[in-house]
Structure 1
Amino acid sequence: MTSAPRPACHKLRPSADHSYDGKQGFSYFEGIARETTGAQAICMHLLTIPPGGRARAHKHATHETAIFMLDGIASMFWGDALEHRMELAAGDLLYIPADMPHLPFNPGSTPARAVIARTDPHEQESVVLLPELEHLVP
């Protein structure tokens, strides 16, 4: 009887060669994910939101998200009708429950950078765009 090979550890370094455009409207560094490392239950990547940048309204079906703000400021509308607004600054941690509609943006004059982790190892697979909510945010 043979057993499956034990998974290996992987090291990645952010670079422009390993970025992709997400459904949400931002470019991401392709970090830890099933596709890059064989991760089974988590993904982690870097996001830079340019000054004035705004995502599309979306949610992550059945997956939780954790964010750590590295630099800059960001704002996020959230809730079933994007009725809540939250401000984030460098050093803040943010938890977004599974299936929570949200729309992040950068109201600042400098880039906002964050580390994002999600319980979806495919990262983009659980993204559900919510165009019906776009008109609710100025």
Structure 2
Amino acid sequence: MPSCQKIAPGATTYAGKQGFDYFEGIARETTGSRGICMHLLTIPPGGRAKAHKHATHETAIYVISGTSIMAWGERLEHRMEVGAGEMLYIPADTPHLPWNPGPEPVTAVIARTDPHEQESVVLLPDLEGLVP
């Protein structure tokens, strides 16, 4: 029978394909989870992800501090600002690219329906030039 586990933030980080460093939280690799992952992300002022999507997996984000902007859509044609205390839902297979316009870091909790967080990441280099 699987057991309950506690993970302390700050223990281990990893570099994601998206271009950010993540706190390695709950995932198949750390806890044996089978249907979910949850990580902490801090985007420094001026930080920007690579254009990407998560194939077949949904994402839910809770912003703890700071304000981020996200471009999303087939050609990253939409913009959304998300700030402290707000939640964001990203449907599966939705191209997106978040960035932090500054001046303070953005810290967020990210949960995804993929227990192996990086497995479903699909980079979209053809969309990179569509966002400044």
**TM-score normalised per structure 2:** 0.99
Task: Please tell me whether Structure 1 or Structure 2 has the larger radius of gyration of its CA atoms.
Answer: 1
Report whether the alignment pairs 1:10 with 2:11: no
Superposition deviation, residue 75 in structure 1: 0.3
Q: What is the alpha-carbon distance in structure 1 between the residues aligned to residue 85 and residue 102 of structure 2?
A: 16
Superposition deviation, residue 108 in structure 1: 1.5
Cα RMSD between the aligned structures? 0.5
**% identical equivalent positions:** 72
Report whether the alignment pairs 1:107 with 2:115: no
Runs (4+) of structure 1 exceeding 3 A deviation are none
Match of 2:88 in 1: 94
Match of 1:28 in 2: 22
Report whether the alignment pairs 1:41 with 2:35: yes
SS of the residue aligned with 1:9? coil
CA-to-aligned-CA distance 1:87-117 (integer Å, 9 cap, x gap): 0100000000000000000001110000000
Q: What is the alpha-carbon distance in structure 1 between the residues aligned to residue 83 and residue 55 of structure 2?
A: 26
Match of 1:79 in 2: 73
Task: Give unmatched runs, 5+ long, in structure 1.
Answer: 1-5
Q: What is the alpha-carbon distance in structure 2 between the residues aligned to residue 135 and residue 28 of structure 1?
A: 24
State the one-letter code of the partner of 1:101: P
SS of the residue aligned with 2:29? helix
SS of the residue aligned with 2:104? coil
Superposition deviation, residue 14 in structure 1: 1.1
Superposition deviation, residue 60 in structure 1: 0.1
State the one-letter code of the partner of 1:137: V
Q: What is the alpha-carbon distance in structure 2 between the residues aligned to residue 71 and residue 137 of structure 1?
A: 23
Q: What is the alpha-carbon distance in structure 2 between the residues aligned to residue 79 and residue 108 of structure 1?
A: 23
**TM-score normalised per structure 1:** 0.95
Q: How many residues are paired up?
A: 132
Match of 2:53 in 1: 59
